[in-house]
C-alpha cells in the first residue's frame, strides 16, 4: 500500500553521479524526508537543497515543463523508465507511490545513442537528428485550408493522433534490451503516413529515418514489446508493424 497523504516519507535515495561524459560514475546515497504529495522531481529538488546546504554539488537532472509533455524528465527509477506507474512521466510521478522507509535508485537512461553528459542528464540529440532525416512535411501546401476541406477517415485521424502523442522521451530505448528506437521512429512515421499531408514524401520518409536511426547506433527490434510497456503515452507496437511495411515499400522504390 502506498503512503497516506497525511504523513511524511523518509527515503533512502541512491542517485547516479557522473562528473562528465568520459568520467567514471557511481551512486551517491542521501536520506531525504518529503511529503507524499511531492512530485519525484520536487523530491530531487529537496535532495539538491540538502546537498548544497552541506557544501556538495547538486545532482544534475533534466526538466522543463513538469507537465508530462516535453519528455525531458526521463529517468530510470528502481530499474524502470519513468518509475513504477504506467503511462506516467517522471515529473508526473508522486512520492505517495512509495512507502516510508523505501530505498530508491535513480539513474539515467542507458543506451549507446543516449550518452551521459553529467549525472542524470543524457544527450537525446540522436532523436532530433532522426526527426530531421524525414519526420516532417516540406512540400508547399499553401495557406492553411479549412479543417473540413481535406477528408480524413476518422479511424486514420485517431490513430495518427495517438502516434503524435509521442513526446520523444526515449523510454522505449531505455526499456528495450537492444536499445532500439523503433517505437519512436514508428510513431513519427505513422503520424504522417496516416494523413494525406504526409503522402508526397511517404516513399522516402521511412527509409531516411530508419537509416538515420541505424547510423545513431540504436539496436533492432526483436519483439520484446518492453517499449510499449514503458511508454508514458501508451504508443502501441502496431506502429512498428506499419513502419516495417513503410520501410519495405520505400526500399523497393528507386531513390529520387
Instruction: Give the tens place of pLDDT for each residue, 147-176.
Output: 778 888 999 999 999 999 999 999 999 999
Give residue-wise pLDDT tens across range 14-48.
999 999 999 999 999 999 999 999 999 999 999 99
pLDDT value of position 141: 62
pLDDT value of position 4: 47
Q: How far apart are CA 108 and CA 21, in angstroms?
A: 12
Return the CA Rg of the chain: 21
Kindly report whether the global pTM for this prediction surpasses the value 0.85.
yes
CB neighbours of residue 82 within 10 Å:
29
Poorest-confidence range of 57-71, 116-130, 194-208, 232-246?
A: 194-208
Are 170 and 109 within 8 A, CB to CB? yes
Residue 232 clears pLDDT 70, i.e. is over it: yes
pLDDT value of position 50: 96
Max CA distance (Å), the chain: 65
pLDDT value of position 1: 44
Residue 254 clears pLDDT 90, i.e. is over it: no
Q: Which domains does the chain have, with CATH numbers?
A: 9-117 (3.10.20.30), 125-251 (1.10.1060.10)
- Tell me the pairing of strands 26-34 and 76-77: unpaired
Q: How far apart are CA 214 and CA 192, in angstroms?
A: 21
Mean pLDDT of 103-131: 97
Amino acid at each position: 500500500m502506498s503512503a497516506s497523504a497525511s504523513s511524511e516519507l523518509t527515503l533512502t535515495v541512491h542517485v547516479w553521479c557522473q562528473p562528465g561524459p568520459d568520467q567514471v560514475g557511481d551512486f551517491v546515497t542521501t536520506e531525504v524526508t518529503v511529503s507524499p504529495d511531492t512530485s519525484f522531481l520536487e523530491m530531487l529538488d529537496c535532495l539538491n537543497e540538502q546537498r548544497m546546504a552541506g557544501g556538495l554539488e547538486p545532482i544534475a537532472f533534466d526538466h522543463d515543463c513538469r507537465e508530462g509533455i516535453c519528455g525531458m524528465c526521463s529517468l530510470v527509477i528502481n530499474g524502470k523508465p519513468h518509475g513504477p506507474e504506467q503511462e506516467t512521466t517522471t515529473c508526473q510521478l508522486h512520492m505517495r507511490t512509495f512507502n516510508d522507509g523505501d530505498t530508491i535508485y535513480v539513474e539515467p537512461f542507458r543506451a549507446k545513442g543516449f550518452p551521459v553528459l553529467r549525472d542524470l542528464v543524457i544527450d537525446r540529440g540522436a532523436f532530433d537528428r532522426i526527426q530531421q532525416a524525414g519526420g516532417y512535411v516540406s512540400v508547399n501546401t499553401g495557406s492553411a485550408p479549412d479543417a473540413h476541406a481535406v477528408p480524413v477517415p476518422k479511424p486514420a485521424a485517431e490513430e495518427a493522433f495517438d502516434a503524435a502523442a509521442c513526446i520523444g522521451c526515449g523510454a522505449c530505448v531505455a526499456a528495450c534490451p537492444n536499445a532500439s528506437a523503433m517505437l519512436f521512429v514508428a510513431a513519427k512515421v505513422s503520424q504522417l503516413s496516416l494523413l494525406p499531408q504526409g503522402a508526397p514524401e511517404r516513399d522516402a520518409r521511412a527509409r531516411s529515418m530508419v537509416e538515420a536511426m541505424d547510423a545513431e547506433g540504436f539496436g533492432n527490434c526483436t519483439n520484446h514489446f518492453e517499449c510499449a510497456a514503458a511508454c508514458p503515452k501508451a504508443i502501441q507496437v502496431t506502429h512498428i508493424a506499419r513502419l516495417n511495411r513503410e520501410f519495405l515499400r520505400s526500399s523497393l522504390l528507386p531513390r529520387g
